[in-house]
Structure 1
Amino acid sequence: QVSSPQHRRNNITNSPTTSAKMRKDESFLGKLGGTLARKKKSKEVSDLHEEGKNAINAPMLPTGTDIHPEDTLMEENAERIMLDPTSRETLKFKDLLKVLIDWINSELEEERIIVKDLEEDCYDGQVLQKLFEKLSGKKLNVAEVTQSEIGQKQKLHTVLEAVNELLRPHGWTVEWSVDSIHSKNLVAIVYLLVALVMHFQAPIRLPEHVSVQVVVVKQKREGILQTALVTKELTSTTENVFINYLFLPTERDAFDTLLDHAPDKLNVVKTSLITFVNKHLNKLNLEVTDLETQFADGVYLVLLMGLLEDYFVPLYNFFLTPESFEQKVHNVAFAFELMQDGGLKKPKARPEDVVNLNLKSTLRVLYNLFTNYKDSE
């Protein structure tokens, strides 16, 4: 009897010899599997131990914070600070950046310097040099244009040395360095600019209570990185800062003295200014009874300038019935431009201060007009 190929295959598969071989193979695979499983389990324990060690070394590292490879190339005990991306996007921080940029551009307008990004425009020392020279009235001995990294750092060293010599005696903590500024550390740049604003008492209002979180990376022994999340306060309240630095040279004017020491005479000043503005606004059948509120939208300021300088202000240049905050700020800023065109100094107040019903700012602006046009008919 001839068996079929299929029958022969079945017999071979089911033979006692084959069954024994399979059991042996299964036993070997079982042992191998057990070994692999034990190794896998051991690796998991090791990984868990490493994870725990990292958790201890970096207890406050924020989720989603990217540490680039170049940020880990540091010498032992070196430290690097990076702005947390979440803090960068907060409205207060963005507002602070905008105020600082607008201030720099205003100060350096004659130099035809326009700053758009603090990190990209301040790191090489050129803008900081011009700004310090404008604020301090001192000329620094530095090269005008420096393209090389060495030249840029040399310029930064000279600029920061002059800044530190000026600020340190007055109690300022230096939160910046040549390396931090040149590496485009935004927190260090902002610290420096805020210090300059406060020391020179710039006519701007910084947003209050602006804080950011930074990731501090430290290089420990054997290449271990230690990270922590730290809160940095960039600005506090304007009042507190000025109280702390009252001993700095100030440019306090008559209105500071008036409001601080003789508030009873405030109504006398208000009456004089109201009489002055109404003398001219009455020509358009307009009348002011409240200085603080009626000039806040900028309309009366624009019309008043036209009357004082004897010209008609085209209505398309300003908003006759402003509705938004931005439109009111536009009107006041436009009035300030007309004042400068008339030969007056740029007002110390910000347009936003007038719009925000800051009485002292409004009085300063109107008093400046009064002293220059009080004899105008």
Structure 2
Amino acid sequence: VVSTTVDPPTPHSTRDKKQNLQALQEKRHKLRKHVVFAVCVLSLVSDLHEEGKNAINAPLLPSGVDLLPEDMLLEENAERSMLDPTSREDPKFKDLQKVLIDWINNELEEDRIIVKDLEEDLYDGQVLQKLYEKLSGRKLNVAEVTQSEIGQKQKLQTVLEAVNEQLRPQGWTIEWGVDSIHSKNLVAIVFLLVALAMHFMAPIRIPEHVSVQVVVVKKREGILQTSHVTKELTTTTDMYIVVPTERDAFDTLLDHAPDKLNVVKTSLITFVNKHLNKLNLEVTELESQFADGVYLVLLMGLLEDYFVPLYNFYLTPESFEQKVHNVAFAFELMQDGGLKKPKARPEDVVNLNLKSTLRVLYNLFTNYKSSE
């Protein structure tokens, strides 16, 4: 029988074991770091390989088109459009922009507003607000100056809602929105300005048959795809050219003698009340009380001494279309009475355009001022 004995551990041997264990743990820690690094490298290589495959499979962007960071961050199935560089340099498109810029500057001359670039000067809604208020004669309830993006978009929302409310009934396709205007989408801005110029009969000559190429970027299954779309900004001469009208006495009055405006308004109010009082009606505000067309229709019946059947017009119009119908019907009665076709449009009277309303009433005054 062989007896075995185990020597009790010495302090020295215990210390060696602890050191060996610590060294082993350090090796494991380093190995773990290497493994994590290797996994990250493999993941990166895989991502790069996938991006490379996508780049090969995806259609190439047109020459000269640079994707902005926001284009690269599109959500799945989202899309963004941008003007093709070739179209941006098109002479007819540049000419259209110049015509619109000159028109805006002429309209807002009294406000000392000067537009030089449609993208940079209109995106925040400030100029669009002033332009719409000048054209429509309506005051919008918005802050005068807004620096924040939220404030600018809120102003744009208010302005565009007012614009769209007037343009939709006339058959205009809405090719603009808050995001497109605020993101300085030149095509959307031009679409909006052309529509405003046509609706309010701007005395400008707009180039016809102006089209641009738009690059549409879509994200499908993580891949950015591009395509070209043609946008027709203007069409025929008949639709898009407004012959400049001769300036009349009211242009001169409003531009150079506003102090005499109240005298003219008072005279016209006296004239219309002389006849409307027969129906126990009274006018105190020309632009607002004639805007729905009811008083115009009744006034024509009184001036021509006949009864207008109530089924021919809306006695209590509620919608924009009903008011336009009333004013247009009053214009027909004027022409039936031998008057020339009014220079103003029914829409302008409904939109509280003072100059248009004054023209209509002054035309009646000059022809019926001696009528009892």
TM-score by length of 2: 0.50
